[in-house]
Structure 1
Amino acid sequence: MSTPPNYDDKALQASIKSLKAVLTKVLKSQANPQIMVTVEQLQRQFSALQRDGSPAKRQQLQAILQDLPADTLTEVIRAFSLYFSLLNIAEEATNLRQRRREIESNKLFWPGSFHDTLQNWQQAGVTASDVQTILNDLQYLPVMTAHPTEAKRRSVRSTLRKVFLSHELLEEQRLKGYFREQALERLHSQIQLLWKTDEVRTRSMGVIDEIEAGLFYFPLSLFEATARMYRNFQRALHDVYGAEAVRDIQIPNFLSFGSWIGGDRDGNPNVKPETTALALRLQARTIIQEYIRRLDLLRDQLAFSYGLCQPSPAFFASLDSDRQLLGSVSVRLERNYPQEPYRQKLALMKYRLEQRLAQIEQRIDGYSGQLGNTAYLGASQFQADLQIIQQSLVNHGDGAIADLELQDLIRLVGTFGFHLMQLDVRQESTRHSAAVAEILKAALGLDYEAMDENQRLAVLAEAIGIPGGLVYDATHLSAATTETLALFGVMADMRREIGNDCFSKYVISMTHAASHIMEVLLLAAQGGLSGRISGRWFCHIGVSPLFETINDLSHIDSVLRTLFAQPVYRALLQASGQRQEIMLGYSDSCKDGGILASAWGLYRAQQQVMAIADAEGIPCRLFHGRGGTVGRGGGPTHQAILAQPPATVRGQIKFTEQGEVLFYRYNNMETAMYELTMGITGLLKASLSLVRPVPEDRPEDLALMTELADIGERRYRLLTEQTPGFLDYFYEATPVSELGLLNIGSRPSHRKKQDRSKNSVRAIAWVFSWAQSRQTFPAWYGIGSSLESWCAGKPERLQALRELYQHWPFFRNLLSNAQMALSKSDMNISKEYAALCVDEQVGKWIHGMIESEYHRCVEWILEIANTDRLLADNPELAVSLYHRNNYLGPLNYIQASLLKAVRSETLAEGEENPWLKPLLRTINAIAAGMRNTG
């Protein structure tokens, strides 16, 4: 994007200018003078190359890089990387200020806010009773996952938060004189600290590091953002529907957080049963610490004295109960508050939480003995105490005080319990099949592997109901099966230790048959999590089959109908009292068959799943395995939810969030609150089918998309599976091989070592590597060909597509996301990577195929959107990409040249490649510049 969009970005430019000025000052005082000179030279030369793409200009740019020593190049890369971090802060701060201005001038707040959504509902005739109906079924569940795309170290993330706050302070008009100078000095020192902090890890991340990285965001932003989000929703209800309606409407705890970090073992040999236990204990420690902190704040606030208030009888009964439980300890704890009943109660509550925390710490340290009985046994006990205090305050006329920090804490307990996040466990189906085969062989001498599907289902159904589980000689089991069984034992133990809500679902990747679900239930039965006692079924585990390839998506109907036809499964599902959850994989389906086949297959799969569930009378929730990029199902959450098939959301949505997406959404509390709000209002809007009929998709639109998807899939597979040399191109024209050397994740980039096939490489590494080389084709390849082919010689079809773009959210969202990905591609830059191919002709040929489709996509999408430039309807993003491009471009040229140097360097044994570290820094820097890269 060489020319700026026609959009007023003065506020953003001012923020960029102020932060860049401080960075320049830091670099001039702290870095080699050559660094700033080189950065400016590269920018100027790249801009000249953008205007005039002649070979001479390209040679001039490469001449700047040619003689730079590795240490100078490293510092240049770090300067570019730091610029992107500051640009991200400038954008985030500008967006926040814009929302604040809208709040000041318009009580409806920003578009998509709670006020805006409820106001539109009221005007459309949605009553307060309708709102209650929707709220009763509402569940918004983002799930944190660990994927190797987030390159920022924790220390860097913390400092970036401080830079954001300092920059915000400097935007205050009232800040002048000495106070402004102080704030500037603080900002300067923080940016200087960033410059002096190495952003590249010196060691590989382990699973424990990933667990702690996920927990990092809760005390930083998510606890406060959650409390404020509920507060804002209640205020919006009051403003729109009135005080009387608010008294009648019950707002449930509709937000929950989930996690895969420490539970996802699919292809990750580093996740063991003990890792899962540790993840839950670290989560429990984090939330208990927050409750203790907030109890201290409440104790400072609720300084009511005897004689000036009259606590309720229930409150005094609760206080006496605590005194009896704690004995002489209570006398010591209450000593400082002889006249203050609420402080007395809060002191005892804090002590009981501290005892709970001490127990958690002991378990983390490996202690397995008996623990004391004075701690809270579960979150419900703690929440009951808080509600007793709240009702007592209301009874003596202090409801306004009860509705402040105390109500926030009650909301947090309802949201996070004593577990913080519900942990999903994930494993690949073949591990369960192998374990079940071994167990049946050892226990009964059965040859499970030789059975067909019907025979397997019959055996599994009978075996699940055996009281106490199957009996066998465990010494005959393999290490893999022993570990699989140990996991179910840990799940049972942790439910007892942390609470029944600490686990969400057991996700089965590569689900191909109904028996794959029943196998997990048999293994669960061996751990006491499911089975039959006295003729009654019980089930303490929920299973979520994951359908992730194009082929898997096409088999959903047969798998689910077979599963739901099993009486034992139906009995276990009913006994669990849970909804059936079905997970859909975006990234693997896109890697497999391309964006059109993936998006359309997922759309039809959702319709199929809900139709089958309705026919069977089974409540169902869809779990969307989305990534950060369009190629992995990413994009703005609000629009993505609205683009789901009509009447399939129904108040419930669960989706994965990973890598850099967590950082950009949750590193600042203000942005976290905005992101949660936009996601929840998207869910609210998509759930109107709960109270009124919604228009169904037109059959002709469905037929049209089926044709487009078929054409697009053929074109994508022609490139990725049928073009000779394509996989060589992937490994030579992207940094995928070097990605594994960057210490940013515990999961291998490939499912099998030394297997360079398309199936083996993980979708995250697939998308990340293509994005690094500025050929983001997984997110758009095949769209142009399908549109062109379908419209060939028939102008009326172009008009039909234009109308489809206007009235169908799915189609509009598909092309809008493709525009975003196309805007991040650069065919001139990607040509530099293509030149790295060992076979020059293969590089040119395959790059030519990608480039042709790129231009075809741009041409046809612009035709259908009826506009003259990409992202015309999203000028904010267009401006963002424009500001990034003059820094991204030089980095790409640096990375391409370093890839060549690293791969061609001849080293003596034990000698370190001097170009490798700068190369790894370019991966970090380009990821920061492109943001949602994986």
Structure 2
Amino acid sequence: MESQFSRGESLNLLEDADLRRHVRFLGDLLGEVIVERSGQAVFETVEQLRKGFIRLRKQDDPLLRNQLMAQLGELDPLTVREVIRAFNLYFSLVNTAEEAFHHHNRMLQLRNGGNLWHGSYHDTLTQLKAEGVTLTQLQAMLDQLVYMPVFTAHPTESKRRTVMEILRRVFLLDEQLTSPDLTSYDEQQIRRQLKQQIQLLWATDEVRAVKPTVRDEVKNGLYYFNVSLFDAVPRSYRNLENAIRRVYADEVDAGTPFHIPHYIQFGSWIGGDRDGNPYVTAQTTEMAVMLQKRAILRRYLDDVTKLMFSLTQSQPLCAVSNEFAADLADSEQRFGSAFNTNAQRFINEPYRRKLYMMRHRLEDNLRLLQHYFRPEQQVSSLGTAYENEQAFLADLKLLKQSLQANGDTMIAATDLTDLIRLTETFGFYLYHLDVRQESTRHTQAVAEVLANTGLCRDYEALSEAQRMTMLSELIDQQQLPEIYGDLQPETDEVLAVMRLMARLRHDVSDKAFGHYVISMTHAASHILEVMLLARFAGLVGENEQGQYCHIYIAPLFETVVDLAHIEPVMTALFENPVYRNRLMLSGNRQEIMLGYSDSCKDGGILASVWHLYQAQQKVGELSKKYGIACRMFHGRGGTVGRGGGPTHDAILAQPPGTVQGQIKFTEQGEVLSFKYGNTETAAYELGMGVSALLKASRSLVTQAKSEPAAYHDVMRELASLGEQQYRQLTEQTPYFLDYFYEACPITEIGLMNIGSRPSHRKAGDRSKSSVRAIGWVFAWAQSRHTLPAWYGIGTAISQWLQAHPEAQQTLQQMSRDWPFFKALLSNTQMSLAKADMGIAQQYAMLCEQSLPALDVLSIIRNEYEQTINQVLSLVEADKLMVENPVLALSLRRRSPYLDPLNHIQVMLLRRYRLAETDGQDMAVLRDTLLRTISAISQGMRNTG
């Protein structure tokens, strides 16, 4: 998602002036720190560049531009580095100030008791009630709701965790400045503390010194839970409950019951995604699960300890339920070792006594984990650990029931209820870890296993029909032969991961693993291959209770061709009785993952979004035909070119009737820190996503309203025209790939220590298919082309209007009435606003052959200008992003500060590439260049 701001938020001039004063305040503090730590000369250089490029943004001045370029060229390496760091830190402070400012405004709305922001729970429930949705119907929707962000470790987050921790403190201090009770003394103290944090930021390197390991990436993912989500999740549940009581007060007062189920779940790929990452093995996957378990157990231990200080009711001043009294007596018999040092501890405080034993048991759960993390210490368990999350949850609910039964309902509804909701959400596993591997790995593994067991000597020579028949028969066999002899390391690793999944389902939780995702799924046999391997590994089989299937398989359709083939592949799968039987055993819900990134890189934005839209419709039809519940898993990135855009609008843009109460989507890169770096923003983002899910799921209780079929006809033609234009540029234009590799810093991005995964599928392969979609989008963004997010749209609209000269009103109506098309045009405007063809030309001059490079740029520039004109015509506006003034102002605030960074990056790229050729010392140049990549990412709020 490129922005945390929805289209519904507005910003009046007074508010913007207030925000600008706030930003200027932080900027002044930064200026003081720069003078103190780096000297007056550095500060003056920063100011000259800042003010000079602001003047150029207002009015071009060739003389001033030449002076600024000359000044940049004369800077010594140390000063260049300090200038880059100054702008980078400025952007971090601006991002934090904006986040705190908008949170403060939302809290003002909340306290004033009026209408809340568009997308809030209150706003959404008011809309649903006005449309006739009763509280009973709302409950039916809630009972089926699943909202699941999935954290991934794609290498696009350039901000270090240490820096994020300092920025969290800046956010909290910044929030204090908005207090109406602030005294002059308080303000001075907060100013002093803010300056201290900015001094820390200036003294903390924002660029990683070494490439992160998978363990580092897992810990980076866990950071967001510890710093915000453990508090944001129960807050989001409370917000919904309060909104229901307010909006549906008449039905609640009349006695209509309701409850809040645990509809928020989390997934992760960090430590499970082995597609193209040689560093993710079975051992690293086990490490990830154990780190997750340790993180959540530590949180439960803290919360149970806090409850001991709040549930202090004493007997005979309080009563407890009979069930609680019986359980307390039983617990004292079984877990009395908790009181070895003092048998009478809390003897008259029943809740504290119970909680003390619960704490004792959680400590034993953590003690058991020490066997994994510190095997050399030989720590022995006390035998009191909770066997699973259900047992812990049962204790918590028993406490709550006893409190409610004895008049302490309000006390039970606070911290204890929050802990219950945390436990329902996170269990003992924290989040569902998905495993991902590429389809050819499974085909090769099946071929080797079958040859090794004598079941089939040449599996890969079989046709698709023959493969389906053989795989089905083997999966359904009562017993499979043992695998004898050594397997190739790749095959052994595939089976080792599945055996690990079987073991950790027992040792940690049966919910520890989510889905097994097969990237590059081209055929139904690819799914059955994984099912057969799982059969060999013990995840699928038969025991004394009967048949079982403990693996959930999600095919991933990524390219435009694969998306077009989704119907025949899934039809073949759903008509296979062996697969249907296993699917029924695992819950009769099929998850299907859609790849936004590769489809866009492959065929362009229009073809990508339309094939994705059609794929969901086809899956929805198949779901009804075969009586199988389906959940779409959206592989979205941070940018529009990778499926990004505001979450609320993206969910509403899904085909009517296809969401069905559940949605799962990837969250990655800079999106994680922007959305989940602070508790306050995280709770807001969760609320915006869940409220959109409720709106999109009205078909669960009412008839879904579909868009006119004529819109589909138009979109089909636009997608075809857009794909032709995109492929003509990326596959048929001479010198285009050379232009990409020379005008964009894709090679240099690969040098950054921001992810464990390589930037290319094949090292040294300079092709569109080899470069990963993340790097593809990242590089075009750095060079201010932002091409993947908009290229082909202008030509498609123009050519369609030429063929239908009287139909412009149709497109305008689509932009007003069709959420899908409206979101597409909104995201397109956002990406066009971030592009700058003047700066892109500076990058084009890096190419070895200037004439063909300028020819390529001319094609891109023409499409850029045409796209702006056509989009503005359809949305009936005279400038970009009129409908989203908050984001428009934010981008305009950043542009003058981005300009010098881009010019510095161009200068450094030229020097770096020449130095590489001449064999000069590279270390200083490389370090400074990588800092520009990080800084531009911060300024655009946009990496990959």
TM-score (norm 1): 0.97
Q: Secondary structure at the match of 1:248?
A: coil
Q: Which residue of 2 aligns with 1:319?
A: 328
Cα distance change of structure 1 residues 502 and 244 upon mapping to structure 2, 3 Å threshold: farther
Please tell me whether the aligned partners of residues 916 and 922 of structure 2 are also in contact (alpha carbons under 8 angstroms). Answer: no
Structure 2 Cα separation of the partners of residues 49 and 62 of structure 1:
12
Cα distance change of structure 1 residues 514 and 749 upon mapping to structure 2, 3 Å threshold: same
Cα distance change of structure 1 residues 106 and 306 upon mapping to structure 2, 3 Å threshold: closer
One-letter amino acid matched to 1:134: M
Correspondences of 1:844-855 after superposition (within 5 Å): 844-855=854-865
Q: Secondary structure at the match of 1:817?
A: helix
Please tell me whether the aligned partners of residues 637 and 679 of structure 1 are also in contact (alpha carbons under 8 angstroms). Answer: yes
How far residue 463 of structure 1 moved from its aligned partner, in angstroms, is: 1.5
Question: How big is each residue's C-alpha offset from its partner over 1:877-913, in whole Å with a ceiling of 9 and x where there is no partner?
Answer: 0000000001001100000110000001157879434
Structure 1 residue 299 corresponds to structure 2 residue 295: no
Structure 1 Cα separation of the partners of residues 22 and 353 of structure 2:
49
Q: Which residue of 1 aligns with 2:277?
A: 268
Q: Which residue of 1 aligns with 2:121?
A: 114
Q: Which residue of 2 aligns with 1:426?
A: 436
Q: Secondary structure at the match of 1:583?
A: strand
Structure 1 Cα separation of the partners of residues 675 and 567 of structure 2:
36
Please tell me whether the aligned partners of residues 606 and 722 of structure 2 are also in contact (alpha carbons under 8 angstroms). Answer: yes
Structure 1 residue 143 corresponds to structure 2 residue 154: no
Q: Secondary structure at the match of 2:855?
A: helix
Q: Which residue of 1 aligns with 2:40?
A: 33
Question: How big is each residue's C-alpha offset from its partner over 1:746-798, in whole Å with a ceiling of 9 and x where there is no partner?
Answer: 01000111111111110001000100000001000000000000112754211
Question: How big is each residue's C-alpha offset from its partner over 1:344-378, in whole Å with a ceiling of 9 and x where there is no partner?
Answer: 00000001001001112321334799855310011
From 672, 692, 695, the equivalent of 2:705 is 695
Please tell me whether the aligned partners of residues 238 and 246 of structure 1 are also in contact (alpha carbons under 8 angstroms). Answer: no
Structure 1 residue 310 corresponds to structure 2 residue 342: no
Please tell me whether the aligned partners of residues 333 and 344 of structure 1 are also in contact (alpha carbons under 8 angstroms). Answer: no
Query: Which has the larger displacement, 172-181 or 847-856?
Result: 172-181
Query: Which has the larger displacement, 836-845 or 41-50?
Result: 41-50
From 392, 400, 403, the equivalent of 1:382 is 392
One-letter amino acid matched to 1:511: T
Please tell me whether the aligned partners of residues 333 and 348 of structure 1 are also in contact (alpha carbons under 8 angstroms). Answer: no
From 174, 177, 180, the equivalent of 1:170 is 177
Q: Secondary structure at the match of 1:655?
A: strand
Query: Which has the larger displacement, 105-114 or 94-103?
Result: 105-114
From 879, 883, 894, the equivalent of 2:889 is 879
Question: How big is each residue's C-alpha offset from its partner over 1:784-838, in whole Å with a ceiling of 9 and x where there is no partner?
Answer: 0000001127542111111111111111100100000000000000000000000
Structure 1 residue 411 corresponds to structure 2 residue 411: no
Q: Which residue of 1 aligns with 2:537?
A: 527
Structure 1 Cα separation of the partners of residues 89 and 295 of structure 2:
30
Q: Secondary structure at the match of 1:693?
A: coil
Q: Which residue of 2 aligns with 1:255?
A: 264
Structure 1 residue 806 corresponds to structure 2 residue 806: no
Cα distance change of structure 1 residues 759 and 443 upon mapping to structure 2, 3 Å threshold: same
How far residue 693 of structure 1 moved from its aligned partner, in angstroms, is: 0.8
Please tell me whether the aligned partners of residues 147 and 663 of structure 2 are also in contact (alpha carbons under 8 angstroms). Answer: yes
Please tell me whether the aligned partners of residues 134 and 687 of structure 1 are also in contact (alpha carbons under 8 angstroms). Answer: yes
Query: Which has the larger displacement, 788-797 or 777-786?
Result: 788-797
Q: Which residue of 2 aligns with 1:737?
A: 747
Structure 2 Cα separation of the partners of residues 855 and 333 of structure 1:
78
Cα distance change of structure 1 residues 697 and 374 upon mapping to structure 2, 3 Å threshold: same
Q: In the comparison of the two structures, how many residue pairs are matched?
A: 930
Structure 1 Cα separation of the partners of residues 82 and 829 of structure 2:
33
One-letter amino acid matched to 1:559: V
One-letter amino acid matched to 1:669: T
From 590, 594, 598, the equivalent of 1:588 is 598
How far residue 330 of structure 1 moved from its aligned partner, in angstroms, is: 3.6
How far residue 247 of structure 1 moved from its aligned partner, in angstroms, is: 6.0
Structure 1 Cα separation of the partners of residues 910 and 919 of structure 2:
20
How far residue 445 of structure 1 moved from its aligned partner, in angstroms, is: 4.9
Question: How big is each residue's C-alpha offset from its partner over 1:276-325, in whole Å with a ceiling of 9 and x where there is no partner?
Answer: 11101100001010001001110000111110111112112222222222
Mind listing any 5+ residue stretches in structure 2 that lack a counterpart? 1-10
How far residue 11 of structure 1 moved from its aligned partner, in angstroms, is: 2.0
Structure 1 Cα separation of the partners of residues 809 and 338 of structure 2:
79
Structure 1 Cα separation of the partners of residues 762 and 158 of structure 2:
23
One-letter amino acid matched to 2:503: D
One-letter amino acid matched to 1:660: E
Please tell me whether the aligned partners of residues 908 and 925 of structure 2 are also in contact (alpha carbons under 8 angstroms). Answer: yes
Structure 1 residue 605 corresponds to structure 2 residue 605: no
One-letter amino acid matched to 1:23: L
Q: Secondary structure at the match of 2:663?
A: strand
Cα distance change of structure 1 residues 906 and 288 upon mapping to structure 2, 3 Å threshold: closer
Structure 1 residue 663 corresponds to structure 2 residue 670: no
Q: Secondary structure at the match of 1:751?
A: coil
Question: How big is each residue's C-alpha offset from its partner over 1:443-481, in whole Å with a ceiling of 9 and x where there is no partner?
Answer: 025110111111111111121233453323231x11110
Question: How big is each residue's C-alpha offset from its partner over 1:228-276, in whole Å with a ceiling of 9 and x where there is no partner?
Answer: 1111111111111123478611221000010000000000000000111
Q: Secondary structure at the match of 1:482?
A: helix
Correspondences of 1:46-445 after superposition (within 5 Å): 46-53=53-60, 55-242=62-249, 243-244=252-253, 248-332=257-341, 335-366=344-375, 372-445=382-455
Q: Secondary structure at the match of 2:556?
A: strand
Q: Which residue of 2 aligns with 1:472?
A: 483
Cα distance change of structure 1 residues 556 and 146 upon mapping to structure 2, 3 Å threshold: same
Structure 1 Cα separation of the partners of residues 355 and 485 of structure 2:
50
Q: Which residue of 1 aligns with 2:878?
A: 868
Q: Which residue of 2 aligns with 1:22?
A: 29
Q: Secondary structure at the match of 2:80?
A: helix
Structure 1 residue 452 corresponds to structure 2 residue 463: yes
Q: Secondary structure at the match of 1:622?
A: strand
One-letter amino acid matched to 1:572: R
Query: Which has the larger displacement, 371-380 or 17-26?
Result: 371-380
Structure 2 Cα separation of the partners of residues 569 and 289 of structure 1:
40
Query: Which has the larger displacement, 896-905 or 790-799?
Result: 790-799
Cα distance change of structure 1 residues 590 and 406 upon mapping to structure 2, 3 Å threshold: same
Q: Which residue of 1 aligns with 2:5?
A: none
Structure 2 Cα separation of the partners of residues 116 and 799 of structure 1:
31
How far residue 430 of structure 1 moved from its aligned partner, in angstroms, is: 0.3
Structure 1 residue 830 corresponds to structure 2 residue 837: no
Question: How big is each residue's C-alpha offset from its partner over 1:607-648, in whole Å with a ceiling of 9 and x where there is no partner?
Answer: 001101110110110000001100000000000000000000
Query: Which has the larger displacement, 539-548 or 15-24?
Result: 15-24
Cα distance change of structure 1 residues 721 and 523 upon mapping to structure 2, 3 Å threshold: same
Please tell me whether the aligned partners of residues 289 and 433 of structure 2 are also in contact (alpha carbons under 8 angstroms). Answer: yes
Structure 2 Cα separation of the partners of residues 520 and 264 of structure 1:
15
Please tell me whether the aligned partners of residues 338 and 356 of structure 2 are also in contact (alpha carbons under 8 angstroms). Answer: no
Structure 1 residue 554 corresponds to structure 2 residue 567: no
Structure 2 Cα separation of the partners of residues 921 and 245 of structure 1:
61
How far residue 524 of structure 1 moved from its aligned partner, in angstroms, is: 0.6
How far residue 107 of structure 1 moved from its aligned partner, in angstroms, is: 3.9
Please tell me whether the aligned partners of residues 221 and 667 of structure 1 are also in contact (alpha carbons under 8 angstroms). Answer: yes
Structure 2 Cα separation of the partners of residues 343 and 7 of structure 1:
52
Cα distance change of structure 1 residues 603 and 914 upon mapping to structure 2, 3 Å threshold: same
Query: Which has the larger displacement, 751-760 or 433-442?
Result: 751-760
Cα distance change of structure 1 residues 911 and 366 upon mapping to structure 2, 3 Å threshold: farther
Cα distance change of structure 1 residues 14 and 45 upon mapping to structure 2, 3 Å threshold: closer
How far residue 842 of structure 1 moved from its aligned partner, in angstroms, is: 1.8
Structure 2 Cα separation of the partners of residues 591 and 5 of structure 1:
38
Structure 2 Cα separation of the partners of residues 555 and 7 of structure 1:
53
Cα distance change of structure 1 residues 722 and 535 upon mapping to structure 2, 3 Å threshold: farther
Please tell me whether the aligned partners of residues 774 and 829 of structure 1 are also in contact (alpha carbons under 8 angstroms). Answer: yes
Please tell me whether the aligned partners of residues 315 and 350 of structure 2 are also in contact (alpha carbons under 8 angstroms). Answer: yes
Q: Which residue of 1 aligns with 2:763?
A: 753
How far residue 62 of structure 1 moved from its aligned partner, in angstroms, is: 1.2
How far residue 399 of structure 1 moved from its aligned partner, in angstroms, is: 1.1
Structure 2 Cα separation of the partners of residues 786 and 574 of structure 1:
44
Structure 2 Cα separation of the partners of residues 777 and 5 of structure 1:
32
